[in-house]
Structure 1
Amino acid sequence: MIKAIKVRLYPTRCQEELMFKSAGIARFSYNWGLAFLNKYYEENNKSLSIGELRKRFTELRNDEEYIWLKEVSSEIPQQALKDLGESFKKFFNKQSSYPKFKKKGKCEISFFHLNNKFVVENNKIKLEKIGYVKMKDEGRLPVGNYKKDKIKVLNPRVKFNGKFWYLSLALEVEDETKEELTDISVGVDLGIKDLAIVSNIDKPFKNINKSKEVKRLNKKLKRLQRQVSRKYDMLKSGTTFKKGEKLIKTQNIIKLEKQIKLVHKRIGDIRLNHIHQTTNTIVKTKPCRVVMEDLNVKGLMRNKHLSKAIAEQCFSKFINILEYKCKYNGIEFVKADKFFPSSKKCSCCGTIKKDLKLKDRTYVCHNEECNLIIDRDKNASINLANYKLA
């Protein structure tokens, strides 16, 4: 069984500089590889393999002009080119869009570390060309020399989230004894008023964006964004600035942008934590299967009145997290058909109400023999729970 582990690191100032340099070289390698492949295709009308691309990069690394590439581990840029190859594979398999260039300040700050070059001892971990870094481990990582002791870890990455450094990796562990599942089928309906309505849980899971703390942080974010916008306007209106020139940020702008990043991080952490708590509660009921609608999130985002509320709910992330937790616990995860009338169908008699509108929050069945009156979202969750059941 594979277990994901995330460990917080406490680097010194010198170590942190090397970490930022490693992440920068990983970004440079990815962008160089993408630019090289684009140019090669334009000139030769055929693609170049990632293996050949890595050989070309080794030649670049040995050039005196790019001697700074040798200041970090050689595996970092090579893995960045492998990641580029995976991006192209996903593109050709129609799983994602064409790879884009990684822009400094916009992309994730992270780099790869070779899995057999770790040395762990006494809450310290040795990273190649960085040295021993303090960490908050709590006994989750195996102690020892990973090469000599043949300890296997998968896909280790060192990441910076805007405030702290983390090491994330996957470790092979023995299978845990899992509890037996019930014979209950659960339907989960996602919404804007509430995050999720579950068929076997009476109380809906609240929309965390309506909480006092998130509202306070959103107000703070608006205030900071206005401040930085005014400073940019003042900078552009200066006599020394000419149109078309690159703006040189002042220290006050840099400070404000750092604060904005931290507020964005705090809001994102609150939302992610709420999603994890909700999905954990659903999985802990031990159902035999979980059914959700196959939502077209991109299509929903086209609605200008609801796009912001939908984006804040993080539907795609919720579905992905619930799916992997179901898989881990041996629960069947089913995506209902996009055209399944979960909201329009009566969960009691099966009558379909074609004239149901978005503003109708209570479902009233038109069948005289039924006359069911139920919350619209609860009705949808029950219909999802009964989806394709004999």
Structure 2
Amino acid sequence: MSVTTTCVKRAFKYRFYPTGAQAAELSRTFGCVRKVYNLALAARTEAWARQERINYNATSAMLTAWKKTEELAYLNDVSSVPLQQTLRHLQTAFTHFFGKRAKYPRFKSRKKSRKSAEYTTSGFRFRHGWLTLAKMGEPLDIVWSRPLPEGATPSTVTVSQDAAGRWFVSLLCDDASVKPLPATDAAVGIDVGLDHLLTLSTGEKITNPRHERRERARLAKAQRALAKKAKGDGANRAKARREVARIHARIVDRRRDLLHKLTTRLVRENQTFVIEDLTVRSMVRNHTLARAISDASWSEFRSMLEYKAAWYGREVIAVDRFFPSSRLCSACGTLQKKMPLHVRTWTCECGTTHDRDVNAAKNLLAAGLAVSVCGAGVRPQRSSPGGRSATKQKTPRREP
């Protein structure tokens, strides 16, 4: 597999500390972005009820008219660039809806929606490492935790604030430094789990750190304190809410840091990866395992592995979720009738004793490579309506 592009779009996210005036201006911008999005969505919904369609150009004209009204005159106080961008985002949401890739767009809540604003090149100035947004006289105080690619100029800047009150800026740049790594013959099967986050066909097991479980007691204490606060917009409740959000943010940061390190190492060491095409969204309906599955973050691991493999000229093969990787003997091909979850080691009739997870990883690797050679469809899309890939039919096995 080779990468034909010489340059990839890459976002670099940094934390920054705004002044009081900058924070107030950005908060106003977030509110205006949310208001414009909701107004445009309401207009398009009403048109949809009349069996009419309104596109981005129509909502852009509406925005101009809204600014001239006395009720919405405050929209003129913030930069127009994020307001236009939110209309483009709404257009994208409707495109995905009409293409049956997403549900109907929903209104943005003041308390629950993500606080963010996107600026294109006309809405910011980037000079010598200083970033200044429109309607602001001073540059942002950014903590440059890592340098931008040499000679890179941001094409889009996204400013956001998370629930813990932290401010972030994301710079989208063309990164020409991302190039395919030297090809190698190494291929690995990867079985995800709960006791061990990853089990490789080489026999290596990577422990699941269970970040959420480690913080569960502290999180429960903070949530109890929040529940005791009077509901409303009081300062005490806001302080308690931020404490809960800070704990959640720490969990997410640690989990994402580990996954980045794991996927980067795997991509550097291997050419081909074979994984199982799991439907995590369905699996979390099991209330006994939902919390542990969410903490393992299998979907995020797969996403990271796929985009890094595309960057560096590697290949990811997804094996059908119905493939019995755990019940199949990797030595002789005998298929066991049952394999309960509590069985972690088992002995085949051929005399081979298997570790359940290592055996599954070996079977995934063999199945993925076999189907890849056959040229069958081994990349089932996660949005496909439950169709089985050719893996289950193509993989040779012998009934006991």
1:279 to 259, 263, 266: 263
Which residue identity is paired with 2:20?
R
- Is the CA contact (8 Å cut-off) linking 1:208 and 1:274 kept in structure 2? no
Distance 2:157 2:20 in 1: 22
1:324 positional shift: 0.5
Which residue identity is paired with 1:21?
R
Corresponding residue for residue 188 of structure 1: 190
Corresponding residue for residue 342 of structure 1: 325
1:223 to 216, 221, 224: 221
- Is the CA contact (8 Å cut-off) linking 1:120 and 1:142 kept in structure 2? no
1:313 positional shift: 1.3
Distance 2:329 2:246 in 1: 46
Distance 1:61 1:38 in 2: 21
Q: 1:97-116 alignment to 2 at 5 Å?
A: 97-116=103-122
1:325 positional shift: 0.9
Which residue identity is paired with 1:389?
L
Relative distance call for 1:117 and 1:35 in structure 2 (3 A) is closer
**TM-score, length of structure 2 as denominator length:** 0.84
Q: Deviations over 1:41-75 (max 9, x none)?
A: 22x12221122122112211221221111111111
Q: 1:139-178 alignment to 2 at 5 Å?
A: 139-140=147-148, 153-161=154-162, 162-178=164-180
- Is the CA contact (8 Å cut-off) linking 1:123 and 1:135 kept in structure 2? no
1:16 to 23, 32, 37: 23
1:96 positional shift: 2.1
Distance 1:250 1:333 in 2: 50
Q: 1:298-309 alignment to 2 at 5 Å?
A: 298-309=281-292
Distance 1:215 1:357 in 2: 25
Alignment of 1:133 onto 2:140: yes
Q: Deviations over 1:324-368 (max 9, x none)?
A: 1111111111111121111111111111112111221113223xx
Distance 1:357 1:88 in 2: 44
- Is the CA contact (8 Å cut-off) linking 2:274 and 2:368 kept in structure 1? no
Alignment of 1:59 onto 2:42: no
Aligned pair count reads 360
Distance 1:324 1:139 in 2: 21
1:371 to 338, 345, 351: 351
- Is the CA contact (8 Å cut-off) linking 1:294 and 1:338 kept in structure 2? yes
Distance 1:142 1:32 in 2: 41
**TM-score, length of structure 1 as denominator length:** 0.86
Which residue identity is paired with 1:228?
L
1:37 positional shift: 1.2
Relative distance call for 1:9 and 1:152 in structure 2 (3 A) is same
- Is the CA contact (8 Å cut-off) linking 1:187 and 1:381 kept in structure 2? yes
Which residue identity is paired with 2:221?
R
Distance 2:98 2:119 in 1: 27
1:142 positional shift: 6.8
Distance 1:251 1:320 in 2: 39
C-alpha RMSD of matched pairs (Å)? 2.1
Q: 1:22-41 alignment to 2 at 5 Å?
A: 22-41=29-48
Q: 1:257-336 alignment to 2 at 5 Å?
A: 257-285=241-269, 287-336=270-319
- Is the CA contact (8 Å cut-off) linking 1:363 and 1:374 kept in structure 2? yes
Distance 1:229 1:177 in 2: 50
Distance 2:71 2:167 in 1: 30
Distance 2:302 2:237 in 1: 37
1:163 positional shift: 3.6
Relative distance call for 1:228 and 1:290 in structure 2 (3 A) is same
1:216 positional shift: 4.8
Q: Deviations over 1:288-328 (max 9, x none)?
A: 21111111112211212111111111121111111111111
1:123 positional shift: 4.2
Q: Deviations over 1:238-260 (max 9, x none)?
A: xxxxxxxxx53432212111111
Aligned-pair identity in percent equals: 31
- SS in structure 1 of the partner of residue 93 of structure 2: helix
Relative distance call for 1:175 and 1:226 in structure 2 (3 A) is closer
